[in-house]
Amino acid sequence: MQYRTLTLCALMSLAVLAACDDSETITTPNPTATVRFVNATGNSNITVANNGVVGTGNSALGFGSGSSCMTVTTASPNLTFTNSGTGASIGGFTSSFASNGNYTVVAYTDASGNTQFTTLDNAFTPATGQAGLRVFNAASGSGNVVLNAGGTALNGGAATAFPNSGAFFSTPAGTATYTFNTGTGTTTLATATNVPLTAGQNNTAILGPAATGTTARRAFFTTGC
């Protein structure tokens, strides 16, 4: 009888140990970041795939167009870009995403006509009741540019050179018309009309190149995810 009792206790101990081992098996999800892609190249439509999948609205994005918000793994992000017209792969993108980060990836055309990429961190908290805004200069040969609204230079008249991004600043929410002027303020390079900015949301104002056969540079605004 004593032998049976000891055997039963041993079996119960093994069962408890097995249960403990199962409870300690924890699967940690891969860290991720949120990314939006926007096309500021001269004339190429671009398709973006996230880990081999082209999401809804992420195909044949023309100038001024942006993708949906994509969740990508930070350890091994797999964003790939294709020229929608030729089907050719577009290289040169190097990822740099932090866990739980929020980013805008911009494709632009360099002075030699090649497609380049830049990754902009959307980490910024605008002042209460205002929107966050910054400038990215994607127009080769534009020199230093200043963003204006209502004839007034924004962010203290800070100038942004190609191919750089200015710092975020807080600006009143609402709808306005914005101009990109030369650093001296004497020439307007592009105008973005009736742009709505929402309080608490971060935005990037992008100056881009002219379309083929034209000379006027173009501009658009994009929001962070």
Short-list 161, 203, 202, 153, CA closest to 178: 153
CB 31 within 8 A of CB 76: no
Q: What is the spatial distance between Cα 41 and Cα 30, in angstroms, rounded to a whole number?
A: 32
> Between these two residues, 198 and 13, which has the higher pLDDT value?
198
Q: pLDDT category, 57, cuts 50, 70, 90?
A: very high
CATH topology of 29-123 equal to that of 124-225?
yes
Domain spans of the chain?
Answer: 29-123, 124-225
Per-residue pLDDT tens over the stretch 66-81: 999 999 999 888 999 9
In angstroms, the CA 204 to CA 28 distance is 34
Q: Is the pLDDT of residue 114 over 50?
A: yes
Strand partners, 179: 148, 191
What sign does the dihedral 195-209-34-82 (CA atoms) show? positive
- In which band, very low, low, confident or very high, does the pLDDT at 24 lie, cut at 50, 70 and 90? low
The pLDDT of residue 75 is: 84
Residues in the chain: 225
Neighbours of 31 (CB within 10 A): 13
Strand order in the sheet with 46-50: 46-50, 79-83, 89-90
Q: Has residue 12 got a pLDDT over 50?
A: no
Give the whole-angstrom CA distance, residue 202 versus residue 153.
19
Mean pLDDT over 151-172 rounds to: 96
Q: What pLDDT is stored for residue 112 in this prediction? A: 93
Per-residue pLDDT at 95: 86
The CATH classification of domain 124-225, taken from the options 1.20.1560.10, 3.30.750.24, 2.60.40.2890, 1.10.3720.10 = 2.60.40.2890
Average model confidence (pLDDT) for the chain?
89
> What is the fold, at CATH topology level, of the domain defined by 29-123?
Immunoglobulin-like (2.60.40)
pLDDT at 96: 87
